[in-house]
């Protein structure tokens, strides 16, 4: 088989490799293996950073790592003890595998306290940018056929699902929390998907992005009944005065100094969700007394979130279905940059972050 591989920690090592051994169904014990033919794989900043040599690790015994953690595929074979899938079913694999902490033991490896984690296409486990893979049935999620055109968006959606579910979970402390207004910082893939999920929860959503409207992403945001504000025209404080107070804020810009600005405008009893994986080492000076005072007197919460558990994958499927039914065709518009064929997969890495790119993905095999 072919695969897009990197040599982790070696900058710009991505290449298409041949002679990858075909995965065997009985590699999974207990007859619970599922063989999946890969259809589409999305890429994001994580893949770019792994290819830049910033992080990532190969599986034990390998010198290369197969990239790709945003998978979408079709089942071609199942082990004798698999009841939940049959050939022809569409599936997405959960990214993180269980480790050894108590959180892993209860099905939430996304909260692991282990010192390292096992993630497909990122750390210690091969990813999906190959022809097929075998996974334990317990780590696959069924995608209804009606969602097959947008199934590749599930994994980034789960990151948003987890962050928003955590916000609601935390706010149970308030007994009667009824969030009305939300702010999303960042109008990229994660910001757009956060806007969908928050609109589905009935919130008034203001999205802050850098670019001046109107442009493709601001049109997409307005099509959901949300509003777009360019930070070139209004800072967060002015935006909050006009459209807040914000009960929930979701940070997805990748620009960490904005976190402190967001802290300064979060509403009383509000929750600020941080989702940007910022690999750099930027430092900034902040108005620490004022930020601290606002948090203390306003009973505010800030929470970091990474990865997602099975529950978030399942709520992600439901929200994708709701979004398709409510705004037909909207999700498909996020799939801006298809790259056809594994042999062209290195080109997908170059397309990441180019103007106009929302979701870059490799169409490994055409949808059946
Ligand atoms: C992935 C997450 C993962 C995180 C950290 C993100 O790009 O979507 O599933 O946990 O990177 O590795
Ligand atoms: Zn990702």
Distance in Å, CA 346 to ligand 2 centroid: 17
Distance in Å, CA 174 to ligand 2 centroid: 32
Measured from the Cβ of residue 351, the count of other Cβ atoms closer than 10 Å reads: 16
Domain's final residue, options 304, 322, 345: 304
Q: What is the pLDDT of residues 310-335, one digit of tens each?
A: 999 999 999 999 999 999 999 999 99
Whole-model pTM?
Answer: 0.98
Distance in Å, CA 115 to ligand 2 centroid: 20
How many helical (H) and strand (E) elements, i.e. helices and strands, does the chain have? 10, 19
Q: What is the pLDDT of residues 144-166, one digit of tens each?
A: 999 999 999 999 999 999 999 99
Is 185 part of any domain? Answer: yes
Ligand 1 is surrounded, with C-beta below 6 A, by 44, 46, 69, 95-96, 119, 122, 155, 159, 277, 306-307
How many Å apart are CA 43 and CA 4, to the nearest integer? 12
Residues 215 and 283 in one domain: yes
Distance in Å, CA 287 to ligand 2 centroid: 32
Ligand 1, atom 9: closest residue by C-alpha: 307
Residues 167 and 293 in one domain: yes
Residues 11 and 91 in one domain: yes
Q: DSSP alpha helices (H): ranges in the chain?
A: 45-51, 102-105, 154-170, 189-200, 216-223, 236-243, 257-265, 288-297, 310-326, 345-351
Closest-approaching ligand to the CA atom of 306: 1
Residues 199 and 295 in one domain: yes
Residues 186 and 233 in one domain: yes
Atom of ligand 1 nearest to the CA of 155: 8
Q: What is the pLDDT of residues 202-254, one digit of tens each?
A: 999 999 999 999 999 999 999 999 999 999 999 999 999 999 999 999 999 99
Q: What is the pLDDT of residues 32-62, one digit of tens each?
A: 999 999 999 999 999 999 999 999 999 999 9
> What pLDDT is recorded for position 279?
86
Tokens 């099975």 sit at which residue? 310
Distance in Å, CA 299 to ligand 2 centroid: 32
23 neighbors 79 (Cβ within 8 angstroms): no
Q: What is the pLDDT of residues 213-222, one digit of tens each?
A: 999 999 999 9
Residues 164 and 100 in one domain: no
Closest-approaching ligand to the CA atom of 316: 1
Residues 223 and 183 in one domain: yes
Domain region containing 139: 3-143+336-363
CATH number at residue 138: 3.90.180.10
Closest-approaching ligand to the CA atom of 55: 1
Ligand 1, atom 3: closest residue by C-alpha: 307
Residues 222 and 268 in one domain: yes
CA–CA distances in Å: residue 122 to residues 85, 96, 339, 341:
26, 9, 21, 21
Is 89 part of any domain? Answer: yes
Distance in Å, CA 193 to ligand 1 centroid: 15
Ligand 1, atom 10: closest residue by C-alpha: 307
Which of 45, 46, 276 for a ligand 1 pocket mutation test, highest count of atoms within 8 Å of Cβ?
Answer: 46
How many Å apart are CA 221 and CA 207, to the nearest integer? 8
DSSP state of 345: H
User: Three-class SS of residue 181?
Assistant: strand
């Amino acid at each position: 088989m072919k695969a897009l591989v990197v040599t982790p920690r070696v900058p710009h090592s991505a290449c298409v490799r041949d002679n990858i051994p075909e995965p065997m169904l009985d590699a999974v014990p207990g007859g619970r293996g599922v063989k999946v033919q890969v259809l589409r794989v999305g890429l994001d900043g994580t893949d770019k950073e792994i290819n830049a040599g910033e992080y990532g690790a190969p599986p034990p015994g390998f010198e290369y790592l197969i990239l790709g953690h945003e998978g979408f595929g079709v089942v071609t074979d199942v082990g004798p003890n698999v009841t939940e899938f049959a050939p022809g079913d569409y599936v997405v694999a959960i990214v993180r595998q269980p480790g050894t902490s108590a959180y892993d033991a209860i099905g939430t490896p996304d909260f692991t306290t282990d010192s390292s984690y096992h993630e497909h296409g990122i750390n210690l486990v091969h990813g999906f940018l190959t022809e097929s893979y075998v996974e334990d049935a317990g780590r696959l999620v069924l995608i209804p056929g009606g969602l097959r055109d947008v199934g590749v968006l599930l994994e980034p959606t789960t990151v948003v699902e987890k962050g928003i579910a955590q916000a609601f979970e935390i706010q149970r402390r308030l007994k009667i929390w009824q969030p009305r207004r939300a702010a999303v910082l960042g109008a990229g893939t994660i910001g757009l998907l956060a806007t969908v999920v928050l609109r589905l929860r009935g919130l008034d959503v203001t999205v802050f992005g850098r670019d001046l409207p109107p442009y493709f992403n601001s049109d997409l945001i307005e099509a959901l009944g949300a509003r777009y504000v360019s930070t070139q025209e209004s800072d967060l404080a002015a935006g909050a005065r006009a459209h807040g107070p914000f009960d929930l804020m979701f940070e997805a810009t990748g620009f960490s100094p904005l976190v402190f600005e967001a802290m300064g405008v979060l509403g009383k009893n509000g929750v600020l969700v941080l989702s940007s994986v910022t690999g750099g080492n930027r430092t900034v000076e902040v108005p620490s007394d004022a930020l601290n005072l606002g948090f203390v007197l306003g009973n505010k919460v800030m929470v970091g979130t990474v990865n997602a558990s099975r529950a978030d994958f399942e709520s992600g499927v439901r929200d994708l279905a709701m979004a398709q039914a409510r705004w037909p065709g909207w999700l498909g518009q996020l799939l801006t940059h298809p790259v056809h064929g594994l042999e062209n997969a290195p080109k997908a890495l170059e397309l990441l972050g180019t103007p106009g790119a929302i979701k870059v993905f490799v169409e490994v095999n055409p949808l059946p």
